[in-house]
Each structure stands twice: as structure tokens, then as C-alpha cells.
Amino acid sequence: MTDFLTDWGLTLVTFAPLLGALIMMTVPAGKTHTHRLVALFASLAALVVGALLLVDFNYGDAGILQYVVDRSWIDVINSRYILGIDGISLPLLALTLVVVPLCVVYSWDHIPHPGNPKAFLSLILILETGMIGTFVAQDLILFFVFFEVVLLPMFFMIGVWGGENRRYASIKFFLFTLFGSALMLLSFLALYFLSSDPITGDPLRTFDMRVLSDVAGAGILGVTQVWIFAGMFIGFGVKVPMFPFHTWLPDAHTEAPTVGSVILAAVLLKLGTYGFVRIAVPMLPEGAEVWMPWIGLLAVIGIIYGALGCLAQTDMKRLIAFSSVAHMGFVMLGVATLTDFGVNAAIFGMVAHGIITGMLFFLAGSVKERYHTLEIKRLGGLLVQAPRMGWLLGFVSMASLGLPGLAGFWGEFPAILSAYSPADGLPVGVFRVYMVVAAVGTVLAAGYLLWLLQRTAMGSPKPEFADNDEIVDVTPTEWIAWLPLLIGIVLFGVMPGLIFRVTDPAVLTVLTEFLG
């Protein structure tokens, strides 16, 4: 059994959803129930195999890659099929595996207009394969392929099942991301051609991420590293999204169907930050050192800008989208310090943001379904009309603003703290300024979330909705879809060590170049 898991486990986890999608394509579109079952089964299958992997994972050695599969793939360009997980991939993999089945469950009776559950659910499954693949791939080209696989299903999800402005939002999402990944690919190619063996000086000509991380940019001049890093910075930065490249996110979130928003917020954004931690930083340490103060700057601009943006929003989903920009700012600030502490906080922040913001989008979707609007000024009195849902909104908002004891806290607080003493070589003074600004950002976050809560949950219902029978409290499907996330928020809030223990050894490996 263990042998089987070691050899096939990751492949199975990655492709089980895709297999489900392929099966669904052979079933006629009319059989809605079959489609739901197949989708649920496929995503659960991935979850089960993933859980087995998690149980079997050697936590003592979380710093090294496990379940490594290394097979030939495209020999003509020296690219191989290499999979593997370590402490950095593991929490994100687990997050993906949990969120997707929940989305399938939520879609049970929430297929957005214009229907067609067959297409909708198969897109979710294809998305899952792409996301999992990105987290487990250990070859740059394989990583790139999975990174791009995610693009089309999301494009269609927004374009077909989205709101009024879906065409604009979907094309914008598509073009932004693709522009970024074109530059990213150029950077990968530069790594391929320029990396050389640190001892013999021979060109390596490999896309193997393990090797490239080990040689840590040997043979590439500092100036060149800065340029290559710039390419990756844009590629990953668009996905995160970092401050100047973030404009696609509010549009995409506003127009996307609920499940699309949840997946986008919970997992897709992490592909960018994961790319920074896994690829950009370890492979180009000199480039990273030059860029990090700037990334830190953009991160804190993102924090403040996102928070201020939130305060100016009239739409609940758009507000949550802007809060994502702010939260991802904290994550990037953690990465920018290049310290063990900061990067661990960043990874924790990714998971926490995934759970919390995913949950917020679920709530927003359910509110929209009941009120047919997300305009904050038309909402109100959720606590009166749907008390449980109102309380959930309050609870998740608290988690989002970083209340100690809930998951959000452990992403933000250590990230801010880590900016106090960034890695050697980074300007300490500058980072301390960032720290102060980021701390102000948390206050603003508390402001906008409480404002949101007060406007939507408290007070009395607006007359137009006062006697509306459609406004029911949380339904059983919703409970099933949400409960795991709610548990996660509390569990990781109370026991952050669950994640830190796994990530720390891997982060130490990634940061070898900076920790001496």
C-alpha cells in the first residue's frame, strides 16, 4: 500500500478530478443527478487519496520532497514529469482538496444561470486538476502547463455563469494572467539557458526545480538575476495579485459565480504566492534580494489601498475582493522579509485567507441568492431575517480582520512582526516603516469589516425585503459545504502549530541562501 502511494499517490490525486470530468463528458447532459454524483465522487476520491498521503507523510522530514515521481515526459526539451510534495506544498494541497468538494456540494442546488450542471461541474474538476498539479509539480515546464490549465476553466466559469459584465471581466482576467505567464515562461527559459553547475561551470540545461533550487542561480550574474526575477515577479504578481496588477481581481470576483469566486479566492490566488516561495526566491536569491524591498513596498501599498478600496465599495462581493488584495499584501510582506518567520507566516496566511475569504464568498453568494442583490445599502437586518447566517457572517468577518484565536490572526500578526527584522542584506529601516504601515492596515481592516457587518447584518431589514419568503436561513446543503471551513477557522486559530510545524522545515530549505 505504501509503495503504491509513493509511486502513484500524487499522480492519482492530480488526475482523479480530470478523470471524473472525462467520465462526465460521456454522460448525456440531461442526467443532472449523475453528473453531481460523479463530480462529488471524483473530488472526494482525490481528497481520500490526498488524506492517505497526508497520513503517510513523514512529518519529521517535511523539509525534503516526498512521494517524488520522476519519469520521462518531453525528452526533446529536457523536461520531465516530476511530482513531489514538501511542507510548503502540503498545506496548499490539502486546502485545494478540501475546498473543491465543498464547492461541488454547494453547487448541488446552486447552479447559477444559465444552468448546465454538466459543463459547470466538469470545469470545477478540470480546475482542480490544474491547481493540484501546480502545487505538486517539480519541473518548471510541468508547473507552467498546470498553471495554464487553470486559466481556461476559470475564464469560462466567469464568462458563462457570471453576472452582467461577465464578458469584460472574463477577457480581462484572461489577458492579464496570460500576459503575466508569457513573461514567466520567458524567465523559465532564461533559467534553463543560463543556469550552470556551481562546481564544473557546465550549463545545466534542465527544468528540474529541485536542481535549480539547489544551485540557487549559480552561474547567473546578479544583474541578469534581477531581470529574470522581474519576469517572474510580473507573472506571479498578476496572479497574487500585487498592487499595480490587481485591477482584474475585483472585476473577476464581482462577476464570477459564487463557486468561481470561492475557488478564485481560496486557491487560485495562492498559485502566485506559491510561485514566489517555491520558484522565484530559491532559484534567484540575488534577484530576490534586490527586489524584495520593492515587493514589500507594493505589498504595504496593497494593504492600505485594498483597505481604502473596501471602504469605498457599495457591493459586498467587490468589498471582499478588495479585502483579498489587502490580505495578499500581508502574505507578500511576509515573503518579502525573506526570514523563516515571515515566510512561514506567509504560508499560514495563504491557507487562512483561503479558508476565510472562501467562506466569505460563500456567504456573499448565499446572500445574493436570497436578496438578488449585493448592494450594501439595500441590505440590512440579516440577523433578524436569517440569524444563523448573520452570525456566521459576523464570525467569519472577525476571523478575517485577524481576531486572535481565529485563523486569520496567525497569517497577519507574524507577517507584520517579521518585518521588524528582515533578512540580512535587506534595509531594516524601510521594513520597519512597512511594519508600521501594515499595522495601520489591520486597523483599517477592522474598520471596513465591522462597517460591512453593521450595514448588512445588524439593524432591521429594508422594507423591500421585509416580508420576503425567499429569505431563509442556512440550508442543509450550505451547512455541509461550510462546516469544514468553519471548523478549520477555529482549529487553525487555536492550534496554529498544526501548519507551522509542517511548513517550517521546508521554509528553512527554501531560504538556505539567506539564512547562511
Residues in contact with other proteins by the rule CB under 8 A: 29, 72-77, 114, 116, 119, 141, 144-145, 148-149, 151-152, 155-156, 159-160, 166-167, 170-171, 174-175, 178-179, 182-183, 185-186, 189-190, 193
Question: Closer CB to other proteins, residue 139 or residue 340?
Answer: 139
Is residue 482 helix, strand or coil? helix
Question: Closer CB to other proteins, residue 155 or residue 371?
Answer: 155
- Return the residue matching grid coordinates 492600505: 304
Report in angstroms how near the CB of residue 149 gets to other proteins at its nearest: 6
Report in angstroms how near the CB of residue 387 gets to other proteins at its nearest: 38
Report in angstroms how near the CB of residue 1 gets to other proteins at its nearest: 29
Report in angstroms how near the CB of residue 451 gets to other proteins at its nearest: 34
Burial class (CB in 10 A: 0-12, 13-18, 19+), 202: exposed
Question: Closer CB to other proteins, residue 187 or residue 323?
Answer: 187
Helix, strand and coil content of the chain, in percent to the nearest 5, comes to 75, 5, 20
Question: Closer CB to other proteins, residue 230 or residue 379?
Answer: 230
Question: Closer CB to other proteins, residue 38 or residue 185?
Answer: 185
Contact 414, 504 (CB under 8 A): no
Report in angstroms how near the CB of residue 173 gets to other proteins at its nearest: 10
Report in angstroms how near the CB of residue 196 gets to other proteins at its nearest: 13
Question: Closer CB to other proteins, residue 148 or residue 473?
Answer: 148
Question: Closer CB to other proteins, residue 186 or residue 403?
Answer: 186
Report in angstroms how near the CB of residue 189 gets to other proteins at its nearest: 6
Angle between helices 428-456 and 407-418 (to 10 degrees): 150
**Residue 185 to residue 204: CA distance in whole angstroms:** 18
The DSSP result for 133-200, as a single string, is: HHHHB-BHHHHHHHHHHTHHHHHHHHHHH--TTHHHHHHHHHHHHHHHHHHHHHHHHHHHHH-B-TTT
**Residue 101 to residue 108: CA distance in whole angstroms:** 11
Question: Closer CB to other proteins, residue 81 or residue 391?
Answer: 81
Report in angstroms how near the CB of residue 364 gets to other proteins at its nearest: 22
Is residue 116 helix, strand or coil? coil
Question: Closer CB to other proteins, residue 75 or residue 202?
Answer: 75
- Cα torsion through 415, 63, 235, 255, rounded to 10: -70
Angle between helices 387-400 and 428-456 (to 10 degrees): 170
Is residue 80 helix, strand or coil? strand
SS (H, E, C) 256-308: CCHHHHHHHHHHHHHHHHHHHHHHHHHHCHHHHHHHHHHHHHHHHHHHHHHHH
**Residue 203 to residue 215: CA distance in whole angstroms:** 11
Question: Closer CB to other proteins, residue 56 or residue 148?
Answer: 148
Contact 86, 65 (CB under 8 A): yes
Is residue 375 helix, strand or coil? strand
Question: Closer CB to other proteins, residue 182 or residue 311?
Answer: 182
Residues facing 70 on adjacent strands: 82
Report in angstroms how near the CB of residue 452 gets to other proteins at its nearest: 30
Report in angstroms how near the CB of residue 207 gets to other proteins at its nearest: 11
Question: Closer CB to other proteins, residue 79 or residue 397?
Answer: 79
- Return the residue matching grid coordinates 459565480: 257
381-395 burial, b at 16+ Cβ within 10 Å, e below that, comes to bbbebbeebbebbbb
Question: Closer CB to other proteins, residue 13 or residue 499?
Answer: 13
Contact 317, 361 (CB under 8 A): yes
Report in angstroms how near the CB of residue 460 gets to other proteins at its nearest: 39
30-42 burial, b at 16+ Cβ within 10 Å, e below that, comes to eeeeebbebbbeb
513 grid coordinates: 541562501
Question: Closer CB to other proteins, residue 261 or residue 397?
Answer: 261
The DSSP result for 486-506, as a single string, is: HHHHHHHHH-THHHHHHHHHH
Report in angstroms how near the CB of residue 287 gets to other proteins at its nearest: 18
Report in angstroms how near the CB of residue 430 gets to other proteins at its nearest: 33
Report in angstroms how near the CB of residue 174 gets to other proteins at its nearest: 6
